[in-house]
A and B are shown apart, each in its own frame.
Chain A
Amino acid sequence: GAVVSQHPSWVICKSGTSVKIECRSLDFQATTMFWYRQFPKQSLMLMATSNEGSKATYEQGVEKDKFLINHASLTLSTLTVTSAHPEDSSFYICSARPRLDTQYFGPGTRLTVL
């Protein structure tokens, strides 16, 4: 089946630093990738949708300058949390979608900002 990986699986950083999270589709090409955020005991909230080669579309309330998304190839999307603060600590999950197919989810990345 389709596999999506994320790297790193967990990361701890100091306040004010930037963190990059990678999302890769391992055995298929994904025209669209999605980034979600999940707080403890909460549902997954869609942050943004990215299409290969174009700018990401951010959901209302998500700061595009804080959460930089790059979808440079059909198998890789990156999320960079810039100038991270403790309130950015969360579980970030990506998904990838081949054309006209369902979304396949990565295992998630737990970010802790000290």
Chain B
Amino acid sequence: GENVEQHPSTLSVQEGDSAVIKCTYSDSASNYFPWYKQELGKRPQLIIDIRSNVGEKKDQRIAVTLNKTAKHFSLHITETQPEDSAVYFCAAFLSGYALNFGKGTSLLVTP
């Protein structure tokens, strides 16, 4: 199976609504979980990350939650805006050094 699974693959929300993207991972030793945003034709850029000693982290409209027991973590975007439209990737460091990404979620925020 995949090391990092991400759902949903596409997500459409109306401006102002919340969006939630979920990821699960397989390696219980993973200790760092970043989220990247990729706009069309551009490089992935880190938007938020969380380490295994923290359960939740928030940065303005973006938050990430981590459940180490269940091996899943989620990205929450509140008060979505059209400029939030992009592809979002979760990732987890496996075995300490390799980095595995989820397959991505294409988020569309409609005005």
Answer yes or no: do A and B interact: no
Residues of B within 8 A of A (CB): none
Residues of A within 8 A of B (CB): none
